Amino acid sequence: MSSQQSVVLKHWARIIKQWPVDKVRPEYVSFQKVMQDHLNKVAASRAAAQNVKANNEVLVTPAEPPQMNQQKAMKQINALYNLLDDRFVKEFPMPAQTRHPQSRPTHYDDIVKEMGEAATRTWLASTYNRIRGMLRFS
């Protein structure tokens, strides 16, 4: 059981390293931070349980550390690997008419560009864009 958990933890560590960083999301709620904290809790509770089992002098029985459900964890890992490899984009490509509608062909490209720029934009630039968006003359 322990070797299976270590394999699961290795997969999670690999996914955390490969997962793209979301520049718009704050660091304290990023996928990497949240998952690393969760894995640290699981590893710490496992280590504490092993230390208590090694010391038979303890009179109080500690609570069992939270165990990972192996099948559920492997399903989650496989789903995340599929997302990292863009499996669903390759298997189910988006039609060109959906991606570039006739009414505004660059709409989705503009959104992606805006999200990329928003992470590095200063307060003054954000205020300027907000005011410019309010004053449209078309």
Query: Residue ranges per domain, the chain?
Result: 1-93, 95-138
Nearest CA among 125, 108, 115 for reference residue 20: 115
Q: Give the pair of three-digit tokens for residue 5.
A: 């958990």
The CA distance from 17 to 11, in Å, is 10
pLDDT of residue 24: 83
pLDDT of residue 107: 93
Q: What is the DSSP letter of 135?
A: -
The CA distance from 98 to 24, in Å, is 25
CB 16 within 8 A of CB 35: yes
Q: Give the pair of three-digit tokens for residue 84.
A: 């990292």
The CA distance from 19 to 80, in Å, is 9
Query: How many whole angstroms from its chain centre is CA 123?
Result: 27
Give tens-digit pLDDT for 15-48: 999 999 888 888 889 999 999 998 888 777 777 7
The CA distance from 56 to 64, in Å, is 15
Give tens-digit pLDDT for 112-133: 998 888 888 899 998 998 898 8
Confidence of residue 70 (pLDDT cuts 50, 70, 90): confident
